[in-house]
Amino acid sequence: MAREFTSVGVVGLGTMGAGIVEVFARNGIDVVAVEISDAALERGRATLKGSTDRAVAKGKLAEADRDALHARVDFQVGLDALRAVDLVIEAVPEHLDLKQRIFAELDRVCKPEAILATNTSSLSVTEISVATARPNQVIGIHFFNPAPVMKLVEVVRTVVTSAEVVADVEALCARLGKVDVTISDRAGFIANALLFGYLNHAVGMFEAKYASREDIDAAMKLGCGLPMGPLALMDLIGLDTAYEILDTMYRRGGRDRRHAPAPLLKQMVTAGLRGRKSGRGFYTYERPGSPKVVPDEWTPLATDAALADGSRAIAKVGVVGSGTMATGIIEVFAKAGYEVISVTRGAEKSAKVCEAVKTSLNKGVVRGKLSEADRDAALGRITWSATLEHLADVDLVVEAVIEELSVKKALFASLDEICKPGVVLATTTSSLPVIDVAMATQRPADVVGLHFFNPAPVMPLVEVVRTIRTSAETTATARAVCATLGKTGVVCGDRSGFIVNALLFPYLNDAVKMLEASYSTADDIDHAMKLGCGYPMGPFELLDVVGLDVSLAIQRELYLELREPGFAPAPLLEHLVTAGYLGRKSGRGFRDHTNR
């Protein structure tokens, strides 16, 4: 039978500590809330009051329940107030020496049977535990911010944590309405180990001026359905906190270069740019602690409207290809009012593309997203052709053929001969170098990447990929076209993976490596990222949807171009693909889909 906790202590009443106090008090448990001084104690009290008052205002907490919650909290200065509690959770800043001093004092103060827990997100629970004479009763209980809202708790056991302590804490998490994942003591645990490599990579992208902060954040929100972009999330976490976590993970986690904090991050922390809490990080905020972003020197000077002023007029568009992507792009352009010429190889394929576009438009009518008149008008703008010569007078050509460089280069060489001067030639490649395609023509300044996401009529993002030869006018034209299509065009350089795939697939690869090391299960890793980070899908769910073979091919391209050891494809991923485990499309991937 699991232990019944009647009173707990929380040490440290910052945002996280005050949130943990609220979680316990909401669930009927008496809390002794401890700080180092009266001033810090009052700040913690104000944080708790603000959180519960907001919950009442939003109708998520009754006034009587709020008052009862506050009555369960005993605010005290000093650790001596924790003599009678059953469990203590420490939530002070991420400094090992500070935590060790606190645990040594807790060991002296607390009753012998009390469990001592740390909310650390990156430090070694084992190193904290040895500051006590009861390391078997020390455990990690890692809540996620904001603690009253986030469902996940990482329960971190050391090699000497007793099984009874682990069972007691797991039962407590269930009582609190949390989902726990129990793991061993390793740098970053699950969520931070996967999250911060991705965040650090995004900082490196921005530091290298590969893409703007707005475009990096928009790409990951719109392309992956994430609740926040990586740079905005860094500001929310706190750049100083992020730096400490990354530095700890780098030193404790095998010195993986992907966790070595980007130089820009350290410079910003040194300059006092710590994110929302200081009022300035990657973005500038209305005031410290405010979520409202205000313009600053990093704000782009050119809006889509301004870009359009330097762009070419586009009225007629050619789309080459017969696959799902080509079909979706044809629909997108036709619905946006462009005259479209669809070119396929042969009348039979042309008829299939025509039928697919009609079917999709009819579904839009049935779902109430499109009127019959709009459907008919869109279809009336499309001309079906089986020859490239019909593209002689278009203003823009979008290529959407198979991902083979030789095929694309041959096509662009033909387009170079057929199309009039000044036509923008765009490739939808998601993995090939755009410059290789551009140099198959005599007009590389007019060639750009337009990477649509599947399904094109639904996904709001387009990556506009400029090469070192793409003209500013061509880039401006591409972005203006995206705006006319109702899409967000994010501009980046011609590098493997562009923005989305370059940030997404190393994260997925890291998850496979974590599973391969038997650190956790696929289910728990998926739970951690969905419940702890708000991701719409866990990494293994997403890998099975994308296809393990597709993921492996992209990861290989990233590794070959960037030569970063941490990007080397996980051997487990290669073995599964070799064995025919490709994900949903084969019925088996990281999970069995044959009966689903």
27 is catalytic: no
8-state DSSP, 589: S
Q: Give burial (CB, 10 Å; 0-12/13-18/19+) of 476.
A: buried
- List residues bridging with 550 in a β-sheet: none
Closest CA to 238 of 282, 301, 298, 287: 282
Give CA–CA dist 451/449, Å, rounded. Answer: 6
Catalytic residue of the set 192, 212, 360, 586:
192
146 cis-preceded (ω within 30 degrees of 0): yes
Cα pseudo-dihedral 416, 422, 426, 432, rounded to 10 = 60
Q: DSSP string spanning 468-524?
A: TT--HHHHHHHHHHHHHTT-EEEEEES-TTTTHHHHHHHHHHHHHHHHHTTSS-HHH
Phi and psi of 473, rounded to 5°? -65, -40
Catalytic residue of the set 90, 94, 154, 331:
154
Catalytic residue of the set 94, 142, 200, 322:
142
For 19, 22, 560, the CA distances from 68, given in Å and listed in that order, are 16, 11, 60
- List residues bridging with 396 in a β-sheet: 317, 424
192 is catalytic: yes
Token digits for 407? 């095929």
Q: Give the long-range contacts of residues 500-503, CB within 8 A, separation 24 or more.
A: 500/219, 500/220, 500/223, 500/224, 500/453, 500/461, 500/463, 501/430, 501/431, 501/554, 501/558, 502/201, 502/205, 502/558, 503/198, 503/201, 503/202, 503/205, 503/216, 503/219, 503/220, 503/230
3-state secondary structure of 371: coil
Cα 197 → chain centroid: 11
Q: Give burial (CB, 10 Å; 0-12/13-18/19+) of 235.
A: buried
Q: Which residues contact 32 (CB under 8 A, 6 or more apart)?
A: 7, 8, 9, 10, 74, 76, 81, 82, 85
Cα R_g (the chain), whole angstroms: 28
200 is catalytic: no
Give CA–CA dist 537/542, Å, rounded. Answer: 6
Closest CA to 381 of 292, 317, 433: 317
348 is catalytic: no
Catalytic residue of the set 119, 121, 311, 360:
121
291 cis-preceded (ω within 30 degrees of 0): no
Active-site residue set: 121, 142, 154, 192
